[in-house]
Amino acid sequence: MLTVIAFIVALGLLIAVHEYGHYRVAVACDVKVLRFSIGFGKVLFRWKPRKPRPGQDTEFVIGAFPLGGYVKMLDEREGVVAPAERHRAFNTQPLKSRAAIVAAGPLANLGLAVLLYAAVNWIGVEEPQPVLGSPVAGSIAAEAGLRGGERVASAALEGESPEPIRSFEELRWLLTRAALDGRDLRLQLARDAGSRGGELVLPLSRMDSRDADAQMLRKVGIVAPWSPPVLGEIMAGGAAERAGLRKGDLVLQVGEQPVGDAQQLRDWIRSQVQGGRALGATWEIEREGRRLQVAVTPDVVNDADRPPVGRISAYVGAPPAMVMVRHGPVDGLWNGVVRTWEVSALTLRMMGRMVIGEASVKNLSGPLTIADYAGRSASLGLTQYLLFLALISVSLGVLNLLPLPVLDGGHLMYYLWEAVTGRSVSDAWMERLQRGGVAVLLVMMSIALFNDVARLFG
């Protein structure tokens, strides 16, 4: 139920903001708005304001099918317009006014993302400290010399100035940007007790652009913050329960290999499969001050897209050390602007790479995945839900600015043609382009829905 409610609230808010952008600029340009609708199909609710805006008689509607909305304006192409109101029809407006009305929807979504990111910055969020877990074996981080336990004080993308790193999430964001841009990342390590300091470069420029997928951070090697190798909840019937492991056990050694942290233990468990069969080992654990030895054989989990991996059906790792990240009014707002810009740029780059085949179309997500993430983020608290809303708002704004004929960006391309040539796109070409745009959107929606089903039920 939480997933459904969170999804409906998210969808309703993002669509309402988008359509309100169109509506508000249309009113400012003195275009008559006939209907403001959230959703399509059968009308569930309709009303008119008791005190309408001067010259407006807009009907507000909520439709039964929530995946979209529209603002219907007076337009000679869609019906008869009285001569006295012709100056208020959309199609009779100057080019700059029509372009502003069309662009206002996506820009409203980007503006909402700025405010949502800023709100999270002002509220503050508990995030893991920037202490690195053990790198994935054979990864870029491991080959660069990271061992786990290092604290990152600051980091800099190639060609940019260093910026302080206050949390692991800030570091994760920089890693993502560096990997997608193909740029090296320079880390300044703090000299904490028990860990070395100094500078270290992650050569992410050597990553193949096709590595930009859900497993990207595993290829980089920095997956999670440092946490002790302590076992949490033990699931009934799993390998951990069969071996006699208990919640709170601290794993000291697996076979002859000392265990440094939870990430190292998780990687070991996943790798204990050979020829489709699980490999057992003796674990040395600490339980209530006593050292014990336990024989553990993971279960084998098969995935159609990946090699089989081991699993013990237990939560591995205690919660990492946390830090409260909070910004002041001005810094919080500015960081919201910067984050919105960066997410927008990364979204466009990923879309471009998918078009030219440098990134997998498996990165496309549809309504099922969005609904799933809405429920998960809502269950984690207000700030996580606000971050989810900001990300989806950016995606909606960027998507609608793409130059596809059925989207706002497509209409802006028509207006650009009109500005350059002095004449509008002909009706015949408009119809051809609209059909092509619908076909492209249907293909994208089909791929996204297939990916949703594969992720959630595969």
pLDDT tens figures, 45-62? 999 888 877 778 889 999
Q: Over pLDDT 90: what percentage of the chain?
A: 40
The reported pTM is 0.82
Provide the pLDDT confidence category of residue 218 given band limits of 50, 70 and 90. Answer: confident
At residue 74, does pLDDT exceed 70? yes
Inter-residue contact 245 to 314 (CB < 8 Å):
yes
Secondary structure of residue 436 in the 3-state scheme: helix
How distant is the alpha carbon of residue 403 from its chain centre? 22
Inter-residue contact 26 to 73 (CB < 8 Å):
yes
H-assigned helices in 356-426: 367-380, 382-400, 408-421
At residue 19, does pLDDT exceed 90? yes
pLDDT at site 438: 77
pLDDT at site 356: 66
pLDDT tens digits for range 447-458: 777 776 776 665
pLDDT at site 380: 76
Of 25-39, 72-86, 208-222, 371-385, the range with the lowest mean pLDDT is 208-222
Provide the pLDDT confidence category of residue 209 given band limits of 50, 70 and 90. Answer: low
pLDDT at site 193: 53
* Catalytic site positions: 19
**Triad 246, 249, 250: Cα angle to 5°:** 160
pLDDT at site 340: 95
Q: What is the set of domains in the chain, with CATH numbers? A: 94-124+326-458 (no CATH), 140-220 (2.30.42.10), 231-321 (2.30.42.10)
Which whole-number Å values give the CA distances from 156 to 121, 169, 306, in the listed order? Answer: 21, 15, 33
Strands 163-164 and 152-157: antiparallel
Closest to 327 in 3D by CA, of 319, 318, 336? 336
At residue 44, does pLDDT exceed 80? yes
> Other C-beta atoms within 10 Å of 212: how many?
23
Catalogue the long-range contacts made by 168-175 (C-beta closer than 8 Å, 24 or more residues apart): 168/127, 168/128, 168/129, 168/130, 168/131, 168/224, 168/225, 168/320, 169/127, 169/128, 169/325, 170/127, 170/130, 170/325, 171/130, 171/222, 172/217, 172/222, 173/342, 175/202, 175/204, 175/217, 175/220, 175/222
Q: What average pLDDT does the chain have?
A: 86
Which of 3-12, 195-204, 273-282, 327-336 reaches the highest mean pLDDT? 327-336
Of 63-67, 287-291, 313-317, 414-418, the range with the lowest mean pLDDT is 63-67
At residue 214, does pLDDT exceed 80? no
pLDDT tens digits for range 295-338: 999 998 887 667 888 899 999 988 888 999 999 999 999 999 99
- Residue 105 exposure: Cα atoms within 13 Å on the Cβ side: 28
pLDDT tens digits for range 343-383: 898 888 877 777 666 666 666 666 667 677 677 787 778 89
Provide the pLDDT confidence category of residue 425 given band limits of 50, 70 and 90. Answer: confident
Provide the pLDDT confidence category of residue 275 given band limits of 50, 70 and 90. Answer: confident
Inter-residue contact 110 to 343 (CB < 8 Å):
no
Which of 109-123, 131-145, 217-231 reaches the highest mean pLDDT? 109-123
